[in-house]
């Protein structure tokens, strides 16, 4: 699966350059002292995927680390994507902290998610999304409509991929009984979920109230998995004002364990009621 979006390309390139530097035995300070025109703070920002990178700087770093020509050429080409914008990068409507997620979602091979209170954005109908944004009582209703349009664009990009992303979502029963937008909107939303679940790569499940206490009561989360070993799997946790991206193996494994537990207690949405 190709790396998508400038923020995701920066993330990938930064990790590969970090790996080369570590293999060479050099510290960031030693790289800065090599007079390549790259300061220690700048190198830190490059390696952590915070800034665009020029092909010239990548080639200079690869030379310093003793990388062969094929690796140098590949990373220099990757550098071109660190300033190339996708539709979400250029959108003023999408918060900066969410743009990385959209890029990760577009690059992920598999996505596992849990939502207890709401149908997640990638599965919402326009009417349901309108009910969600309306509940936030936006001052600018036109901005809310732009959000809905972008949400539908994100869905189109996600579900038109070839090969398709493997999508497994567990929904708390509360998400299927709360009449967001009204009873008819909710009914249409549930039918939409059932249609989507018929796709071979999509599995939508429901965690019934009858289960009682369950492992994911701490809140919603997403696990994004990537085939490229240079792109570690990520757990995404969202709040009203930002997001947390967890990449440590132990953290991701714990969320996988939680997801496995709730999956065993859930039922396919087609069997719900």
Q: DSSP character for 96?
A: H
* Torsion from C-alpha of 95, 101, 104, 105, nearest 10 degrees: -110
Closest-CA residue to 215 (of 258, 255, 269): 258
Closest-CA residue to 123 (of 190, 216, 207, 200): 190
Distances (CA, A) of 154 to 88, 100, 118, 216: 9, 13, 18, 26
Number of Cβ within 10 Å of residue 39's Cβ equals 12
The helix or strand, by DSSP H or E, that contains position 110, with its residue range, turns out to be strand 110-115
Distances (CA, A) of 261 to 30, 40, 165, 216: 47, 44, 22, 9
- Residue 116 · residue 206 · CB < 8 Å: no
Q: pLDDT averaged over consecutive 10-residue blocks of the chain (273 residues)?
A: 69 91 95 94 93 94 94 89 79 81 89 97 96 82 85 91 94 96 97 96 97 96 90 90 89 97 97 85
pLDDT of res. 152: 94
pLDDT of res. 1: 42
- As a whole-number percent, the residues of the chain with pLDDT over 70 amount to 98
User: Residue 45 corresponds to which tokens in the numbers above?
Assistant: 């920002």
Three-state DSSP class for 115? strand
How many whole angstroms separate alpha carbon 88 and alpha carbon 36?
A: 33
């Amino acid at each position: 699966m190709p790396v998508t979006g400038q923020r995701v390309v920066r993330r990938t390139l930064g990790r590969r350059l970090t790996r080369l530097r570590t293999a060479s035995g050099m510290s960031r300070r030693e790289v800065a002292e090599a007079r390549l025109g790259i300061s220690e703070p700048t190198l830190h920002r490059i390696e952590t995927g915070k800034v665009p990178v020029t092909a010239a700087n990548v080639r200079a770093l690869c030379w310093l680390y003793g990388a062969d020509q094929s690796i140098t050429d590949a990373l220099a080409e990757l550098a071109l994507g660190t300033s190339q914008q996708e539709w979400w990068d250029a959108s003023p409507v999408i918060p900066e902290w969410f743009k990385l997620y959209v890029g990760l979602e577009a690059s992920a091979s598999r996505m596992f998610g849990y939502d207890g209170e709401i149908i997640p954005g990638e599965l919402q109908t326009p009417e349901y999304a309108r009910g969600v944004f309306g509940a936030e009582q936006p001052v600018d209703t036109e901005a809310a409509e732009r959000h809905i349009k972008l949400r539908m664009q994100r869905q189109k990009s996600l579900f038109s991929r070839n090969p398709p992303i493997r999508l497994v979502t567990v929904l708390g029963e509360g998400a299927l009984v709360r009449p967001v937008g009204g009873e008819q909107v909710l009914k249409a939303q549930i039918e939409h979920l059932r249609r989507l679940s018929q796709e071979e790569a999509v599995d939508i499940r429901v965690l019934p109230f009858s289960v009682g206490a369950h492992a994911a009561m701490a809140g919603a989360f997403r696990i994004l998995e990537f085939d490229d070993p240079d792109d570690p799997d990520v757990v995404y946790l969202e709040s009203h004002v930002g997001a947390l991206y967890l990449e440590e193996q132990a953290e991701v494994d714990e969320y996988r364990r939680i997801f496995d537990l709730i999956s065993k207690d859930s039922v396919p949405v087609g069997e719900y009621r």
